[in-house]
Amino acid sequence: MTTKLTFILAFLVSVGASGLASEPPKLPLLSPLFGDNMVLQREKPIRFWGWTRPGDSVRVELAGSSATAIAEATGRWQTEITPPAPGGPYTVQITCGTEAIVLHEVLIGDVWLCGGQSNMEMGMGRVRNAQAEIKQASHPEIRLFTVAKQVSYSPAATVEGSWKICSPQTVAEGGWNGFSAVAYYFGRKLQSEINVPVGLVVDAYGGTPAESWTTPETLRKLGEFGPELDEVERLRAKGGPQFGSFLMHWLAENDLGESNHWSAANFDAAAWRSVQIPGGFAEIGLAEVPGIGWFRKELILPDPLPAGEATLNLGMVEKWTPRISTGSSWGPAPGWKIPGPMSLRTTFSGRARTCSSFAYSRIARPAAFFRRPLS
Instruction: Kindly report, residue by residue over 25-55, the tens digit of the pLDDT.
Output: 589 999 999 999 999 999 999 999 999 999 9
CA angle 187, 208, 161 (to 5 degrees): 50
Of 71-80, 240-249, 264-273, the poorest mean pLDDT is in 264-273
Separation CA 354–CA 92 (nearest Å): 53
Domain 39-204 bears CATH identifier 2.60.40.10: yes
Examine the pLDDT at 313 and tell me if it is beyond 50: yes
Strand partners, 165: 143
In the chain, where does the domain assigned CATH 2.60.40.10 lie? 39-204
pLDDT at 158: 94
Q: How many CB atoms lie within 10 A of CB 342?
A: 18
What is the pLDDT confidence band of residue 167, given thresholds at 50, 70 and 90? Answer: very high
pLDDT confidence bin for 95, thresholds 50/70/90: very high
What is the H or E stretch that residue 40 is in?
Answer: strand 39-41
Alpha-carbon 321 to chain mean position: 18
Name the residue with higher pLDDT: 195 or 24: 195
Residue-level pLDDT at 287:
63
Whole-number Å distance between alpha carbons of 161 and 62: 22
> pTM for the full model?
0.73
Total residue length of the chain: 375
Residue (of 223, 251, 249) closest to 236 by Cα position? 249
Nearest one of 333, 339, 279, 349 to 11, comparing CA atoms:
279
Q: Please, are residues 372 and 299 in contact by the beta-carbon 8 Å criterion?
A: yes
- Distances in whole angstroms, Cα of residue 109 to Cα of each of 141, 176, 179, 203: 9, 28, 20, 19
Higher pLDDT, 206 or 316: 206
Return the pLDDT at 274.
78
- Beta strands 279-280; 362-363: pairing state: antiparallel
- The backbone torsions φ and ψ at residue 256, rounded to the nearest 5 degrees and listed phi first, read -65, -25
With contact defined as beta carbons under 8 Å apart, do 203 and 117 qualify? no
Confidence of residue 23 (pLDDT cuts 50, 70, 90): very low
